[in-house]
Amino acid sequence: MDLGLKNKAAVVTGGAGGIGREIVRGLMAEGCRVCVLDLKVDSVTETLAVQCDVTKRESVEAAFRRAEQEFAHLHVLINSHQLWPHAWFKDITDEQWHKAIDVNLTSYYLTGQAMVRHLLAHKLTGSILNISSQAAFRGATTGHAHYAAAKAGILGLTKSIAREVAGQGITCNALAPGMARTPATASTLAENETEYLKRIPLGRIAEPKEVADVAIFLVSERARYITGATVDISGGMLMH
């Protein structure tokens, strides 16, 4: 199936590892030109990579200027970066709270705004995808309340962006994965994989490519009539 991404340009945050890395590979396989934004980009050699602190406006704006210099027009933004801190709610400090919100929510506002401004300035249609989490719906039971709160905020932000820019042909959707096998979850799965499997009807942990495949579809021309939606990819953990 041709997804209509050939020769388009995409910005992928958190694209140096985990799910983000698989998204980059999948986009490139579709003929899409990709700019990776990440704090550490030394491992990214196959495409344009820009070091960026997505919690800082000046860093985001500089990164988008670099992407524009390389590609002229941008068409896709996928926010796949995240921070998954652990602290029981009674122990969360103000510093931990603000960092979790900044990385997992405020940054999505900054990159999303930069993308919308670019698309509107150049009168382009385009797609934004924000990766949230099942925790946005289910809450966190393992010491990630600050993470869950930010991920729930992403869903409200996504719907609001979608409503504001639909008339300009810009879509904005969210993806809500369950547990996936990434470097960030490796230690948790090593200790508690059996407990996680009990919650998943399909009986296995997602591979990053399975999440990436759905993400790529949602920013493709095949999904142009989908906006403001959140798509679950949780092995049946959440059904509605």
Catalytic residues: 147
- Residue 66 class from Cβ within 10 Å (0-12 exposed, 13-18 middle, 19+ buried)? middle
Among residues 216, 147, 167, 165, the alpha carbon closest in space to that of 6 is found at 216
Give the span between the Cα atoms of 122 and 42, in whole angstroms. Answer: 31
Give the length of the chain: 240
Helix residue spans in 78-144 (DSSP H): 94-101, 107-121, 135-138
Token couple for 5? 């991404």
Find the distance separating the first CA and the last CA of the chain, reported in whole Å. Answer: 28
Helix (H, G, I), strand (E, B) or coil at 208: helix
Maximum alpha-carbon separation in the chain: 50
Give the span between the Cα atoms of 214 and 226, in whole angstroms. Answer: 13
Q: In angstroms, what CA-CA distances link 43 with 30, 81, 118, 209?
A: 21, 16, 28, 18
